[in-house]
């Protein structure tokens, strides 16, 4: 197996010129040219030859080469069909890589795990398109597929939100959703000069280590997340107003369930929460408790 050679400006530029490639904005393409960042990403994923890896958006194959050199098997899903010929070239010496043409948001991740890794847990590693970072991460977390960890390059602003704690400026619905499924950690901050073309913002490598079991017990997780979205729908308003102004909920499969203000205030009081509390000051355990109390109120 050859050594990775695309983790440098010269190696990347050679391929871009050979195939007359320019980054396509609609796919959020930025090509990594920093060997240190690529090695740090692989290190953060803690890959071994026994691991199977799912990569999202391999681009010209830069990170893919590094993954192939460390993991046992790599499945890379690429939405841009024009890059398939390029990947056939840059990955020609790496016999443990399989490239799938498709949109990851329309891909059955559990089926990939079942057929490519016999249903055993996989690790996800990717330099994600920044414009659809959150939908991709949430699809992975909610897929039901056995995923051991997710190591991704994201916009630093998103990384700050993913790892934020209650009461902080960046804390929000994404912070809570991430904490339900995994333990997040920023492995490295990455400056724009690590890419061609340079993005206008700093980036960060974030690792999400999946929980074996959720850190909180809640009767209806779907309802809890709708409650969370409602609480941040009007971020600076108190939580009770956010709930009352949210279009509707789905409790126990019932669409559009509404609560009276008395229901909400009674649930807050029973949970030991101030009636003026805002969602940004509540932890996941408090949302789980409140969700259970509200669920009980409509049964």
Q: What is the pLDDT of residue 24?
A: 63
Reply yes or no on whether the pLDDT at 146 is more than 80: yes
Segment among 54-58, 126-130, 232-236 with least mean pLDDT? 232-236
- Chain Cα centroid distance, residue 9: 28
Higher pLDDT: 13 or 246? It is 13
Higher pLDDT: 180 or 27? It is 180
pLDDT range class, residue 248, cuts 50, 70, 90: low
What are the CA-CA distances from residue 27 to residues 57, 78, 82, 133 (Å)? 9, 10, 12, 11
Q: What is the pLDDT of residue 77?
A: 97
What are the CA-CA distances from residue 182 to residues 16, 48, 213, 224 (Å)? 37, 21, 9, 17
Residue reference for tokens 């509540």:
282
pLDDT range class, residue 2, cuts 50, 70, 90: confident
Segment among 36-45, 142-151, 260-269 with least mean pLDDT? 260-269
What are the CA-CA distances from residue 124 to residues 20, 46, 120, 151, 237 (Å)? 29, 11, 13, 6, 37
Higher pLDDT: 295 or 50? It is 50
Separation between Cα atoms, residue 41 and residue 32, nearest integer Å = 11
Higher pLDDT: 170 or 29? It is 170
Q: Is 201 left (phi over 0), alpha (psi -120 to 50) or beta?
A: beta
Reply yes or no on whether the pLDDT at 243 is more than 90: no
Reply yes or no on whether the pLDDT at 170 is more than 80: yes
In the chain, the DSSP E strands lie at 31-32, 52-56, 73-78, 97-101, 122-127, 147-155, 182-190, 195-196, 203-210, 249-251, 254-257
pLDDT tens digits along 96-132: 999 999 999 999 999 999 999 999 999 999 999 888 9
pLDDT range class, residue 254, cuts 50, 70, 90: low
Scored b (16 or more CB within 10 A) or e, 79-111 reads bbeebeebbeebbeebebbebeeeebeebebee
Reply yes or no on whether the pLDDT at 71 is more than 90: yes
In 2-70, the DSSP E strands lie at 31-32, 52-56
What mean pLDDT value characterizes the chain?
91
Domains of the chain, CATH where assigned: 9-210 (3.40.50.150), 221-297 (1.10.8.100)
Reply yes or no on whether the pLDDT at 257 is more than 80: no
Reply yes or no on whether the pLDDT at 299 is more than 90: no
pLDDT tens digits along 189-229: 999 999 988 888 999 999 999 999 999 999 999 989 989 98
Q: What is the pLDDT of residue 147?
A: 97
pLDDT range class, residue 258, cuts 50, 70, 90: low
Reply yes or no on whether the pLDDT at 41 is more than 80: yes
Of 70, 78, 8, 82, the C-alpha closest to 45 is 70
């Amino acid at each position: 197996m050859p050594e990775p050679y695309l983790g440098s400006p010269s190696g990347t530029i050679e391929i871009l010129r050979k195939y007359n490639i320019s980054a396509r904005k609609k796919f959020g393409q930025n090509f990594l040219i920093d060997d240190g960042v690529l090695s740090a990403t692989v290190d953060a994923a803690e890959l071994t030859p026994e691991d199977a890896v799912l990569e999202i958006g391999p681009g010209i194959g830069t990170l893919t080469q590094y993954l192939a050199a460390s993991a046992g098997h790599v499945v890379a899903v690429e939405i841009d069909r024009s890059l398939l010929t390029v990947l056939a070239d840059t990955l020609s010496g790496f016999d443990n890589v399989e490239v799938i043409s498709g949109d990851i948001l329309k891909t059955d991740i559990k089926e990939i795990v079942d057929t490519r890794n016999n249903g055993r847990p996989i690790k996800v590693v990717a330099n994600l398109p920044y414009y659809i970072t959150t939908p991709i991460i949430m699809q992975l977390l909610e897929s039901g597929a056995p995923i051991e960890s997710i190591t991704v390059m994201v916009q630093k602003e998103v990384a700050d939100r993913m790892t934020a704690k209650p009461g902080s400026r960046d804390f929000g619905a994404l912070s809570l959703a991430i904490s339900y499924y995994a333990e997040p950690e920023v492995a490295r901050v990455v400056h724009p000069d690590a890419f061609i073309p340079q993005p206008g913002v700093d980036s960060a490598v974030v690792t999400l280590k999946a929980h074996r079991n959720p850190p909180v017990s809640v009767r209806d997780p779907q309802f809890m997340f709708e409650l969370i979205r409602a609480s941040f729908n009007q971020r600076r308003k108190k939580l009770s107003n956010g709930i009352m102004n949210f279009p509707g909920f789905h409790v126990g499969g019932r669409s559009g369930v509404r609560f009276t203000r008395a229901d909400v205030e009674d649930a807050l009081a029973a949970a030991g929460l101030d009636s003026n509390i805002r969602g940004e000051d509540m932890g996941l355990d408090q949302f789980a408790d409140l969700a259970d109390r509200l669920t009980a109120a409509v049964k």
